[in-house]
Amino acid sequence: MGSREAMSSHNQDHVVVGKIGATYGIKGWLKVFSYTEQAESIFAYQPWLIKMKGEWQTFHVEAWKRHGQGLVAKLEGLDVREDAQVMTNAEISVPADQLPALSDEEFYWRELMGMTVVTTQGYDLGKVTDILETGSNDVLVVKANLKDAFGQKERLIPFLDEQVIKSIDRTAQRIEVDWDPGF
């Protein structure tokens, strides 16, 4: 149901799919942290948009390879370590239209952020502020409303399709759940 390509972007035209780490070697290669479900998928989306000094700039990946547990990439035009160093910690975005289209039944996690969560009885549990990936299933972090009748500040609701998650309405920005508001 969820997809890792979800890492939030407040700009709907592009989506953050990863982050650049430290330089690797002397020829301008950089470590890459991928947020995509299959780490290598990050290289399928081109060009990359990288924020440099507050401006989004376009880069093409010239080459990439696995390195130990991680990934390293060589961006076009960055041929020496010093040029590459300024990229460290920059977020990697791609144009949203590059991501695969989803069926009506599928959602990117970023779409769930900020949605209102209500119980099947109509009790407003609050808004989705985060999604935790646990081993077995993902968990919605729902920030409760200020005057929550049950005194809750935050609720962790397992993202279990059908069992807990009854419906997701994109238009109304609502997620209906079968959940006890006391938890």
Q: Quick one: pLDDT at residue 4?
A: 38
Same domain? 25 vs 85:
yes
Q: Read off φ and ψ for residue 130, nearest 5 degrees.
A: -165, 165
Question: 147 is in which domain, residue-wise?
Answer: 104-177
Domain ends where: 36, 65, 98?
98
Same domain? 136 vs 173:
yes
The C-alpha atoms of residue 74 and residue 54 are separated, in whole angstroms, by: 22
For the chain, how many structural domains are there in total? 2
Strand 14-24 with 29-34, pairing: antiparallel
* 6: in domain: no
* 143: in domain: yes
The C-alpha atoms of residue 96 and residue 98 are separated, in whole angstroms, by: 5
Domain ends where: 40, 71, 98?
98
Same domain? 62 vs 110:
no
Domain ends where: 66, 98, 130?
98
Q: E-strand spans in 14-54?
A: 14-24, 29-34, 48-52
Do 44 and 34 meet the contact criterion of CB atoms below 8 Å apart? no
* 86: in domain: yes
Tell how many helices (H) and how many strands (E) occur in the chain.
2, 13
* 85: in domain: yes
Same domain? 30 vs 91:
yes
* 2: in domain: no
Same domain? 26 vs 81:
yes
pLDDT tens per residue across all 183 residues of the chain? 443 333 333 345 788 888 999 999 989 999 999 887 778 888 988 899 998 878 889 999 999 999 888 899 999 999 999 989 999 999 899 887 777 766 666 667 777 889 999 999 999 999 999 888 776 788 999 999 999 999 999 999 999 888 999 999 888 999 999 999 988
Strand 116-119 with 174-177, pairing: parallel
Both tokens of 181, joined, read 């508001």
Q: Quick one: pLDDT at residue 103?
A: 62
pTM of model > 0.85: no
Residue 118: CATH number of its domain:
2.30.30.240
